[in-house]
Structure 1
């Protein structure tokens, strides 16, 4: 019987093979004599759901969407009423957009694997939130429809994170003169959604982002692979950042930090009773140790400060009500196994030990 860490490395290796499409015979023979390794299933495309608004149920894969209200009219409170949400592949943020006006289903784009779903607030908050799931399935088409409340526990799950004025989980910013500057002020923004064979996600463009004493254009891509809890983040700008920053919202818990000699990848994480359901939620940022400048805090976030430059890459993951991760010790084992798997594999998009039976 392989232990948890060994299984994580096997899944990482199998995922790399499945993505690259090549492996020598010795690798294949070694895998054949080990325990069964889960096979990554191709991502569900946006057209794979028969009717928009009906969840694909227990389908295995990934899905991303941005749903925009069509045919709605403003009520007395300024919120759009009536009409229906329609998925689009591209959207420019309207200049007159108001937070909470119900133009976007759950306030922005979302992306998911069958393990977990995430959403980004497509406005001047630019934070990332978590939809936890009660069982493995694709759920985003049904989330946020009129007459439903994703802050209350439903059969599929619920919004499990109180974000507040923080980055949420894995939001991006820069560190300037001892202070975090998130994507709060910008001239314009747009988002596109993609559903590909091996991953789904969103790409955001922020023009005229005011940060670090100037204006710059920021491109941010977030993608998730089947069977994975990890979202891979890749951000870039023509004007280099002095120090990139990302983080996790502070909920009064002691952060978990990987050892300095943990290998190529390290992590910053929190675990404890911090979900909106009042139970345990684990959140983690994974980063290359060679990119790390400092781990610190501000008023709202546990922060990872990463080397400056024109681009940065990191990953984040959330764990909620997972039968294999039910306490702090199991969460730490998950963190260490995932960091090791990332260090062993170049297939950083879909490497994740959460798909392994413990």
Structure 2
């Protein structure tokens, strides 16, 4: 029996309109209660918040911003499409990982991680720290989930600036969007980029940097090859540099900046090599 046209249309809208993204922000002591906002005058809730900061995910990856002086972006890598953070809380058991769950294979260290944002004072990288207050907010739309971190009162070139970083993941789209804003309205130079380790493979184009390799992570059940890439508009930047642990992009003075980031894993079926990742970007 054929479905009436309107019924079929509604069915299709429900299927294709499903939001395969989610947010996660909670206190470690209260996993049952999920939050939309949290703040701290110290700027450091690293040990207090679940998975050390706000997080978002879509089918292919999870992303978090560390609620600390790092304010870096870290990756939760997945072996199969699906939403996992509300069950895995970023750290699935070794048994779950062997059954096909994702894991925390990515290691940020002291770097910006994947697309994290800091400032440039003309000579060096300036962290978004110290602060007079740091705030985190998460939210959802019909097709996206996003997280925002506002660092207020960051010392920069003899003044204090307020910087917001927003990360948005999209349902049905692998790339996440990273935006940075100078909330005071003054132009600043942002720094972003992508980190890497010894023996990593790297591919570069006019508007992207892609890396692939095994992170020296010690919280996952195994070590797995991980890919990551940042896509950017070269017209937004005045300088690129490599400090031996990360490829950095230094922006021209601006009030806002936007990049896209992608993560992939050797465990997944689609983008499981650097060549496939680069082909997808192109």
TM-score range, shorter chain: 0.7 to 0.9
- Stretches of structure 2 that go unaligned for 5 or more consecutive residues are 1-14
Where do 4+ consecutive residues of structure 1 move more than 6 Å?
A: none
- Stretches of structure 1 that go unaligned for 5 or more consecutive residues are 1-38, 44-60, 73-82, 260-265, 337-358
Aligned equivalents of 1:143, 1:116: Cα separation in 2? 13
52, 67, 75: which is aligned to 1:107? 52
Deviation at 1:196? Answer: 1.1
Aligned equivalents of 2:242, 2:258: Cα separation in 1? 20
108, 121, 144: which is aligned to 1:163? 108
The 5 A counterparts of 1:61-100 are 61-69=20-28, 72=29, 84-93=31-40, 95=42, 97=44, 99-100=46-47
239, 245, 248: which is aligned to 2:191? 245
SS of 2:189's partner is strand
Q: 1:328 to 1:234 in 2, by over 3 A?
A: closer
Q: 1:210 to 1:153 in 2, by over 3 A?
A: farther
SS of 1:334's partner is helix
TM-score when scaled to structure 2? 0.83
The 5 A counterparts of 1:1-358 are 41-43=17-19, 61-69=20-28, 72=29, 84-93=31-40, 95=42, 97=44, 99-100=46-47, 103-144=48-89, 153=97, 155=99, 156-237=101-182, 238-252=184-198, 253-259=200-206, 266-274=207-215, 276=217, 277-320=222-265, 321-336=267-282
- Would you say how many aligned residue pairs link Structure 1 and Structure 2? 259
Aligned equivalents of 2:216, 2:86: Cα separation in 1? 22
Q: 1:91-147, CA deviations, whole angstroms, 9 ceiling, x for partnerless residues?
A: 1126485643xx2111111101011111111121111111111211101112338x9
The aligned counterpart of 1:343 is none
Deviation at 1:239? Answer: 4.6
Q: 1:41 to 1:307 in 2, by over 3 A?
A: farther
Bigger drift between 291-300 and 198-207 goes to: 291-300
SS of 2:275's partner is helix
TM-score when scaled to structure 1? 0.66
| Contact 1:275-1:281 at 8 Å conserved across structures | no
Q: 1:98 to 1:62 in 2, by over 3 A?
A: closer
Q: 1:94 to 1:275 in 2, by over 3 A?
A: same
